[in-house]
Amino acid sequence: MRSPRQGKDHGAAPRSRRVKIGSGAAVVAAVAGLALSACGSSKPAASQSAPAAPPTVHTYLTLATGGMVHNKTGAAEGPKFIPGDFTLPAGAKVVLTIYSYDDGSASFASASSPYLKVTGGTETVNGSPVTSVSNQDISHTLTIAALGLNIPIPVSPAHGSTEYTPEVVQFTFTAPAAGTYTWQCFAPCGSGSAGLGGAMATDGYMKGTVTVA
Ligand SMILES: [Cu+2]
């Protein structure tokens, strides 16, 4: 399986300009200029650049099925977001990409559950914008209740047990102020008759911590 990735946008750094020195005189002039500027002032120059736009940060999570995640005894564990804990820079524009391999549904008792709706940002599934997921198609949610942020994740279709092509859920939002926030899945995807046991009750599976710093 794919290992989870997390990292910043690695935009191309601007290349430093090459300065052609055409003659010895030019070198002398350049050195003289340096000497002059060095003598000019000891104060640091005031920054003249406009306020920088917030950086865009890309964070990647993998949503693995129970069959993909095994404990030390070899028994399958419940579905799991990997990593369960992640960090975001405060105020950054965040593009959170979730690769979901889970082809199991976890419908809510009520088809009008608020957790079927996208809130707190914008979402695409395999590149197409979505504003909600139907109760038949819901597989998990990644919800940060304290921020009013809800990412419904639909069933990853037709993957079966041998074909591992993930569904790509991408959610764009602005990271909040620094703090520690709990995320959790609200779809009843765990074990037990109510679907709230197992992974749903285990930290690091369907619940974790987002640290904003
Ligand atoms: Cu879940």
Q: What CATH number is associated with residue 122?
A: 2.60.40.420
Distance 41 CA to ligand 1 centre (A): 61
- The answer to the question of residue 27 being in a domain is no
pTM reported for the whole predicted model: 0.72
- The answer to the question of residue 23 being in a domain is no
Angle (CA) 35 37 40, round 5°: 110
- The answer to the question of residue 168 being in a domain is yes
pLDDT at 160: 56
pLDDT at 43: 55
Distance 180 CA to ligand 1 centre (A): 21
pLDDT at 6: 43
- The answer to the question of residue 156 being in a domain is yes
Total domains in the fold of the chain: 1
Ordered strands of the 138-144 beta sheet: 86-88, 207-212, 179-184, 138-144, 149-154
Distance 58 CA to ligand 1 centre (A): 22
- The answer to the question of residue 60 being in a domain is yes
pLDDT at 76: 65
Distance 153 CA to ligand 1 centre (A): 9
Which domain does 86 fall in, by range? 54-212
- The answer to the question of residue 25 being in a domain is no
**Which range has the worst mean pLDDT, 32-36, 60-64, 116-120?**
32-36
Distance 111 CA to ligand 1 centre (A): 17
- The answer to the question of residue 31 being in a domain is no
Q: Which of 9-23, 50-64, 76-90, 172-186 has the highest mean pLDDT?
A: 172-186
Distance 185 CA to ligand 1 centre (A): 5
Residue with tokens 């950054």: 92
Distance 140 CA to ligand 1 centre (A): 4
- The answer to the question of residue 42 being in a domain is no
Q: Which of 8-17, 72-81, 104-113 has the highest mean pLDDT?
A: 104-113
Residue 50 pLDDT level (bands cut at 50, 70, 90) = confident
Question: Can you tell me the mean pLDDT for 177-191?
Answer: 94
Residue 173 pLDDT > 50, yes or no? yes
Residue 105 pLDDT > 80, yes or no? yes
Distance 205 CA to ligand 1 centre (A): 8
Alpha-helical regions (H) of 9-108: 24-40
Question: Could you read off the pLDDT of 196-206 as tens digits, one per residue?
Answer: 888 887 778 89
